[in-house]
Structure 1
């Protein structure tokens, strides 16, 4: 995890690990990344709202199952990188404000010191005896040294602040990337996908390049979770994400839109190319043999339904997604395990 997201020592992390494994075992919860993330936030006390929620549930002896964990993750944990990013941004603002104050103070101090030097030089011009000249020269030397020392201190503070700001900038970049990434699959999440689509949409709106969108949804995914457990379900989602990454190329963008729904944008690709890719993904998945790692049971064939739409003039991302989603819905209605396209007027099955 990122240093500023979970800055615990190895010793503390090991202590939390022992607590988490013990409590997940007692609650008969699966050891998934999501369950671990939720319980880490709870055990470490870093997430007060989540801690309060879990403590209340345990006190009332409410049922805590994997669905509860998923809800807590979505509500309290999934946006944590954004929360930390905001905290880091405030810290950067405080550093800049501190440096500005330091420079202003240094400027005021140097102004006073300059006035003092001018006054002592004037005294030197008016001095009438050797003793006065000696004392004034000593004062000038001391004042000059104070200016040098002050400048050195300002320079050290500025360099320190710049170093801290550089570290914060790097950490903020990592946090923003984490906030746009789906923790389970490593693909872009919905927020990340929408951000990545700004440029392709602008290019498509300018009519400089075609753009095709594919929305895919696993068929009867709930049965997998119900029959083989959420760990197996999570593994299916991870393997599907790898399959999508294997098939996309170049400027293509893939993301997990939520649950068992995935989305792919294909810049510089027309409808026929998008349909061909969707079919490659569908048939590749259909041919795969699946087995539950935990039970060793054969899962059988897993299929997927897909909807494809190409960007049309005067459209935006939301309307393009809506048309692809409508095609997906029709594919589900027609028996699943198929690809439908929306040609701008209606849904058809090539």
Structure 2
């Protein structure tokens, strides 16, 4: 990295820092390290879903208080559990390696001693020895061979045991990692995984010069389901949408629930037209299903969703791509719900044009 590049990067961090502090003050956030981390991440734009959540809270409440900051940090930034498991697993692996190294040292020592015995035997034979001395040397070699065999057998067993331990630890760590990336209610990816894959997919599309599309889904009148029928029914609605997404989108897409009733589909190597077709399959499939209350068999009617679709444009970032899909989804809600709007649709273009505005 050149000196000019380094200076530019440092200047950028100070610019981000200054803007973060301005926003903390503007939205009534306290000047704590956690608050600063949330706002710095927001300004830097590394976590698109965090930016989206901040804008929603700011739009609804006009401020972002300590409770909001804690919730944002826990949901979007903190990865304590996975880090703790990784550290714990690392410590166990290191302990296992130390024990194996001790066994190897023993085996090497035994092998060295065995080699010395062979050298001594060869020297005695070359110097001429009587029959009784040969018997003594052979007896010593037999004992040394037994010792080496026993040591090697013990080492082999210990290595097998260690391999099993490490395999188990790896499986545990992978399970925890997957848990940290999965929404427990719907079984699809959570916000953390969604953010990571959106950035990764965008970078890959830029390198490969391939298309990339994003679908954002919001359940219509979800609060009414919760208020009328309770949270268990609300959970059933969320599972229904997640299940339908899995059924209708079979490509190498990333399916995620990244908000309360919000879902996203990242579609690599997919044009806007194909993404819109996939979104429509999900929307019509959700609408075609009747929701039944399990406890009573009562029909709760139909569930509908509003869907926004955006396709990567020149100069897009993960944040701008998500914002455009989000605005399409809100446009769908404002214009009757239960519909799919893409960022190339003429009706959307009339209202928004090519430029996107930033809330904060």
> How does the TM-score come out when normalised to structure 1?
0.66
Moved more, 279-288 or 216-225: 279-288
Q: Does 1:163 align with 2:164?
A: yes
Which residue number corresponds to residue 38 of structure 1? Answer: none
Which residue number corresponds to residue 108 of structure 1? Answer: 109
Q: Supply the distance in 1 between the matched residues of 2:108 and 2:271 (Cα, whole angstroms).
A: 62
Which residue number corresponds to residue 242 of structure 1? Answer: 243
How large is the RMSD of aligned CA atoms in angstroms?
A: 3.7
Which residue number corresponds to residue 272 of structure 1? Answer: 273
Which residue number corresponds to residue 313 of structure 1? Answer: 314
Moved more, 175-184 or 206-215: 175-184
Which residue number corresponds to residue 33 of structure 1? Answer: none
Deviation of the 1:228 alpha carbon: 0.8
Alignment: residue pair count: 278
Which residue number corresponds to residue 51 of structure 1? Answer: none
Q: Does 1:258 align with 2:248?
A: no
> How does the TM-score come out when normalised to structure 2?
0.64
Deviation of the 1:234 alpha carbon: 0.8
User: Structure 1, residues 43-102: CA drift from partner, whole Å, max 9, x if none?
Assistant: xxxxxxxxxxxxxxxxxxxxxxxxxxx99x979xx9857754553344334323322332
Which residue number corresponds to residue 44 of structure 1? Answer: none
Deviation of the 1:131 alpha carbon: 5.1
Question: How does 1:42-191 map onto structure 2 within 5 Å?
Answer: 83-84=84-85, 86-119=87-120, 121-122=122-123, 132-191=133-192
Moved more, 267-276 or 287-296: 287-296
Q: Supply the distance in 2 between the matched residues of 1:301 and 1:149 (Cα, whole angstroms).
A: 72
Q: Does the C-alpha gap of structure 1 residues 336 and 86 become closer, same or farther in structure 2, counting only changes over 3 Å?
A: farther
Which residue number corresponds to residue 4 of structure 1? Answer: none
Deviation of the 1:239 alpha carbon: 0.9
Q: Given that residues 340 and 348 in structure 1 are in contact (C-alpha distance below 8 angstroms), is that contact kept between their aligned partners in structure 2?
A: no
Q: Does the C-alpha gap of structure 1 residues 128 and 213 become closer, same or farther in structure 2, counting only changes over 3 Å?
A: closer
Deviation of the 1:218 alpha carbon: 1.1
Deviation of the 1:180 alpha carbon: 2.3
Which residue number corresponds to residue 339 of structure 2? Answer: 338
Q: Given that residues 290 and 298 in structure 1 are in contact (C-alpha distance below 8 angstroms), is that contact kept between their aligned partners in structure 2?
A: yes
Q: Supply the distance in 1 between the matched residues of 2:190 and 2:108 (Cα, whole angstroms).
A: 48
Q: Supply the distance in 2 between the matched residues of 1:82 and 1:236 (Cα, whole angstroms).
A: 33
Q: Supply the distance in 2 between the matched residues of 1:344 and 1:151 (Cα, whole angstroms).
A: 72
Q: What SS class does the counterpart of residue 336 from structure 1 fall into?
A: coil
Which residue number corresponds to residue 300 of structure 1? Answer: 301
Q: Supply the distance in 1 between the matched residues of 2:291 and 2:90 (Cα, whole angstroms).
A: 45
Q: Given that residues 215 and 307 in structure 1 are in contact (C-alpha distance below 8 angstroms), is that contact kept between their aligned partners in structure 2?
A: yes
Q: What SS class does the counterpart of residue 337 from structure 1 fall into?
A: coil
Which residue number corresponds to residue 51 of structure 2? Answer: none
